[in-house]
Amino acid sequence: MSDWKPLEVFGLAKAEKQAWLLDELNRLTLHHQAHCAPYANLLAGQGQQAGVAESLDAVPFVAARLFKMLCLSSTQPEDVFKTLTSSGTTSQVKSQIVLDRDTAALQSKVLVSLLSSFTGKARRPMLIIDHDGLTGDKAGFSARGAGVQGLSFLGRDHTYALNSDMTPNWPVIDEFIAKYTNAPVLIFGFTFMVWQHFIEPLIASDRSNLLPQALLFHSGGWKKLQDQAVSNEVFKTMVRQALGEGVAVHNFYGMVEQIGSVFVECEQGHLHAPSYADVIIRDQETLEVKNIGESGLIQVLSFIPKSYPGHSILTEDLGRLLGEGDCPCGRKGRYFEVLGRLPKTEVRGCSDVF
């Protein structure tokens, strides 16, 4: 694996990024072909030669749903550090993602590098919109627990805002607000939980301008908000009504099948692919690559997954590529939007099944 640390998070030119990432992905394809028999069989069945892709869109991909059907691992059982599970609302079948220590450590380091480009290097006091029993099982836990643990490295004085029954823990919340009203703080939670269990109760209690220097990261669980006619813009407006007009609100897109690779929303409202990952949009019928402005299935690419063949995944999410290298925010690379789930597939959301 090449050294990723010197790479500017959103600073690689198109040709440089494609060359670096393609080399990493080809190396991973060869690795997983040699160490994961089901993955090797999949490539053989598709008539694909591993490790020789000449472009990013030629890298073999695995359908995200396959992780619900098979335990795909390129790691010896004795080297498994933890197993992550996805959440689902209509099925008990969950994805199982096997991590060894090296992959788990790399995911954490890349995530911190990526998100600290938004938060700055200093660790902020952190308010987590969840309960403190979520990450108790160190050997394996849900995508929600993994998300909380991953982002916790960005913060200090970690404070859990909810009781175990998901009601607001008002004494804890009030103490945090009193302590850090005039300080930069970090807030993290899954979208629906932030809305229902934190922002709505704050507004109902007629509070405002509570943490005006906060930065909020949130992800997942948009389906329930859309059912309530809560758009991204409405969400941001109400967050700022409760916490302060200066609050920075950043949604991000990611999944347990490729955890550590997240696509963060910039100030323009666009999701960005960092230097270490990329996104491709494919026609949902033919799987042909779509152009800028055309919608289709989202394929995600990442150099991180070495313990399991998750470096190239075709998701069941629909999206649209908005541009590459020309976002007004100044970040390089591709930027896109998520349009929803492929019809008749399971609605997945880490916050939907607490």
Each residue of 205-233: pLDDT tens digit? 887 778 999 999 998 766 666 666 678 88
97 has which bridge partners? 84
Please give the Cα distance from 301 to 20 (Å, whole number). 12
Take residue 253 and report the two structure tokens written for it. 């897109």
Encoded tokens for 73: 């691992």
Strands 312-324 vs 334-341: parallel, antiparallel or unpaired = antiparallel
Give the DSSP per-residue string, 9-28.
Answer: TTT--HHHHHHHHHHHHHHH
What confidence score (pLDDT) does residue 338 get?
A: 93
**pTM (two decimals):** 0.89
Q: How far is it, in rounded angstroms, from Cα 219 to Cα 255? A: 10
- What are the residue ranges spanned by the domains of the chain? 110-252
Q: How many helices (H) and strands (E) does the chain have?
A: 10, 14
| DSSP track, 85-149 | E---SS-S---EEEE-HHHHHHHHHHHHHHHHHHH-SSPEEEEESS-TTTT--SS--BHHHHHHH
Do 219 and 147 meet the contact criterion of CB atoms below 8 Å apart?
Answer: yes
* Helices within the chain (DSSP H only): 14-35, 37-45, 66-69, 101-119, 143-152, 170-180, 191-194, 200-204, 222-227, 232-243
pLDDT of residue 219: 87
pLDDT digits (tens), the chain, 354 positions: 678 988 999 999 999 999 999 999 999 999 999 999 999 999 988 877 666 899 999 999 999 999 988 889 999 999 999 888 876 544 557 778 999 999 999 998 999 899 999 999 899 999 999 988 766 555 445 667 777 877 888 899 999 999 999 999 999 999 999 999 989 999 999 888 899 999 999 999 887 778 999 999 998 766 666 666 678 888 999 999 999 999 999 999 988 888 778 999 999 999 999 999 999 999 999 999 999 999 999 999 999 999 999 999 999 999 999 999 999 999 999 999 999 888 765 544 444 333
